[in-house]
Structure 1
Amino acid sequence: MTRDLVLDGLKGLAVVSVVFIHSVFWSGDSYTPAWLHGACLWLDVPLFFFLAGWSFSKVPSPQKAWQNLWRLQRRYMVFVALVWLGYLLSGHHLPPIRLVEWFLHDYHKAEWDDAVMGSMWFMRVYLGVSAVAITLIWFHERAALPVALVLVAALFFSQLAPDADWSAGWLPVVAFGMFYLPLFLLGYCHATGQLPGYWSALIALQAIWQLCCTPDLRNALIHLQSYKFPPQALYFAASWLSVCALLLMVRLRPVAWLFTRKPLLWMGRNAIYVFFAQGISATLMYAPVGLLNDLQLQWYVLLPPMFALNLYCTIMGARLLKAVEERVEKNLPTTSPPRQAPVPAPAARRATKRGA
């Protein structure tokens, strides 16, 4: 099966956007303007889920998809075990129960400035949404688009209850499910040709209508982060419009060529290592930002080098994580019998005829 280069390039863009977001937030929160915090969230986690559904369309069987999810969970557990060990070696006394909580995707005791575990909420949501989507597509593939459209409609209609407390009870769970599951399903339907263009356009029109009907839109877009946890209709509107814009742009040959270049392809094909490494790199960025804050530099002077440094450290960390995993897997004993060389088939006898 040949790889979809544009898909890999879009995955690379998605992880670069996460690195940029964590350069603006976390260490950049002390010097970047508020409007930039909202602007950078237009290209965010929703793109990952849309591309996840797109990627699932390339998986040959549901069994392979379940294996991929278990491999992702296993890599996550190894990574957080290394993080927990790193905390112990650096003098932070974390009890063993904390590691068990991390294994079970419980991060409520993470420190406020811990970008490593603070960004791991994505893993919990991704594994849960992927499991539900795979089950749905496995049992009834043609139900993917109707379910996605119903959930999108429910997400927009849920905003008719402005007094609902989206931070308590079961509403956060419902909100995350209504938000990310339809994006996964829409990505799958887009890749398999089951998403007609008029449905994408109708959702885009609804997104534009949502933006137009939002009171004090400018202030809401500046504080878009408050519509992300848990995700609400305004965040969906901004995210869907950015996804549609990307899908239109990749149809242009120069843009499609850009997404097939080696740096983006490498990051897209190794997105999980980049995602793990960016948390460590974003935490390390507090040190140089703290040293340079005394210079009172403008944000547009300080942010580009900090983002470039963050991206470089992320890529180096991802390469290191991948190399360590490959070395460990190479040295692990395997229980499967060694492969036998295939026996060459006997050459066909040539029937010869005299005079032929």
Structure 2
Amino acid sequence: MNRDLYIDFAKGLATLSIIFIHTAFWSGQFYILPEVRVFSLVFDVALFYALSGITSGSNIEKTLYRLLKLQITYMIFVTLLFFLDYFFKVFGLTFFSLEWLQNFYSTFGSKYATTRISTVPQWENLGNWYLHQYTNADTFPVVMGSFWYLKVYYILTVFGVLILRFFPKHIHWFIALCAGLTLLFNIFPEIYPSGQVGYVAFYMTIFLIGNRMKGKKIPAKFIPVLYGMVATALAGMFIFYGNDVFFKINKNKFPPQIPYIIWTLFSLVTLFVCYNRLKVTKENFVTYIGKNAIFFYFAQGISSSLVYFIVVPLKEYMSWWVLMILIYGINIMLAFIISAGLKKVDQAGWKILEFLRKKTVAG
């Protein structure tokens, strides 16, 4: 079966969009216009869940094996991240004063950054990361700020494959159930559950709709209707919530609430409209990113953290939009380089595990 390059292309574009979002909302929080930051959310993480639904099947063993491989790759990555974070703090004190580092993290860092710089390895952090408790990595705050997606992905994929395997003829009922729960949580916010339940209800709806779209093509006559519904929903959102809701889209993302859900509709409709209509016949830079999306996702957390150090000296000397384009380009370049390095580290990690396995079996 030939690989569908449209899926890789869509994943690649979604990854580039995530890099732009993290450029705008992290290092860009002090110089990029709020309007631009909000518009960066048009193509957001919901696309990944829709694409996961399109590519997922009902094979439980294959799905769990894929998740196990992802978990091991993730553990290799956070182990590397742990030591990078530690060594930066130790050797950073050689080049920067402790006061400088503390001021940097507290004044130009993110809400995840702390002001306590410790030169003693915080081993409990590594254990927490293995278990998907995303305690902060001071040097690379964007990494842990991005990982909420991964936990939801694990939960959603397990429940999703169980639904696809045991209830293949009743998926529409599960779509209605998840959509209904999402609506219920929003109508009665006092019962909106903490943790990941609300996230899973919304993104499971997208995942299952994506699965139902697998191999299908939206008829051309329905396209204007779908975009008309999106436009109506957006207009209704501004009428009901007021114009100020525009600047609260990101706040309504955690957890997903109606304004953010409406905001995602344009990207999701566009994804499904182009599916089986837009033909990608040759591999290119974007499809390469899509094929290696997980490594780019890991890498952009590091690169989006590193560009802070570039923004600090430059933000006073050029127009915000010039700096934004420059930083975004540098972020992509860094993510490309770092992702290639992470692939090498991942391969080395798997070789070490295989070596240890053979030694254990031989013993």
TM-score by length of 1: 0.82
Which residue of structure 2 aligns with residue 47 of structure 1?
47
Unpaired runs of at least 5, structure 2: 91-117
Displacement of 1:291: 1.1
CA spacing shift, 1:219–1:110, aligned 2, 3 Å: farther
What is the 5 A alignment of 1:159-170? Answer: 159-161=186-188, 164=190, 166=192, 170=193
Q: Which of 296, 321, 335 is the aligned partner of 2:342?
A: 321
Cα distance, 1:159 vs structure 2: 2.8
Please give the secondary structure, in 2, of the residue aligned with 1:191.
Answer: coil
Q: Give deviations 1:223-274, integer Å, cap 9, x for gaps.
A: 2101100111221222122111233245655xx34x8541111111111110
Alpha-carbon distance between aligned partners in 1 of 2:275 and 2:217, rounded to the nearest angstrom: 19
The one-letter code matched in structure 1 to 2:293 is A
* Partners of 1:135 and 1:306 in 2: CA distance: 42
Residues 120 and 173 of structure 1: CA distance in aligned 2, closer, same or farther (over 3 Å): closer
Please point out which of 133, 147, 152 is paired with 2:160. 133
- Residues 42 and 238 in structure 1, CA contact (< 8 A), matched pair in contact too: yes
After TM superposition, the structure 1 = structure 2 runs for residues 175-324 of structure 1, keeping only pairs within 5 Å, are 175-193=198-216, 208=231, 210-214=233-237, 215-249=240-274, 253=278, 256-257=279-280, 260-295=282-317, 297-324=318-345
Counterpart residue identity of residue 162, structure 2: T
Question: Which residue of 1 is the match for residue 87 of structure 2?
Answer: 89
CA contact under 8 A between 1:62 and 1:138: conserved in structure 2?
yes
- Alpha-carbon RMSD across the aligned residues, in angstroms, is 2.9
Instruction: Measure, in 2, the Cα distance between the counterparts of 1:34 and 1:183.
Output: 28
Instruction: State the distance in 1 between where 2:51 and 2:345 align.
Output: 27
311-320 or 80-89, larger mean C-alpha shift: 80-89
State the shift of 1:172 in Å.
4.5
Whole-Å Cα distance in 1 between the matches of residues 164 and 299 of structure 2? 32
* CA separation of 1:304 and 1:186: change in aligned 2, threshold 3 A: same
CA deviation profile, 1:33-55 (whole Å, cap 9, x unmatched): 11112111121110010001112
Kindly state the Cα deviation for residue 144 of structure 1 after the two structures are TM-superposed.
Answer: 2.2
Q: Is 1:154 aligned with 2:175? A: no
- Kindly indicate whether the alpha-carbon contact (under 8 Å) linking 2:185 and 2:198 is maintained by their aligned counterparts in 1: no
Amino acid at match of 2:123: P
Report the Cα distance in structure 2 between the residues aligned to 1:9 and 1:246, rounded to whole angstroms: 11
Q: How far apart are the structure 2 equivalents of 1:180 and 1:265?
A: 24
**Structure 1 residue 31, shift from structure 2 partner:** 0.3
Letter in 2 for 1:102: W
Distance 2:66 2:343 in 1: 16
Shift of the alpha carbon at 1:309?
A: 0.5
Aligned length: 326
Of 190, 193, 197 in structure 2, the residue corresponding to residue 174 of structure 1 is 197
Q: Report how far residue 218 of structure 1 moved.
A: 3.1
Identity level (%): 26
Q: Distance in 2 between matches of 1:219 and 1:112?
A: 34
**Deviation of residue 127 (structure 1)?**
0.6
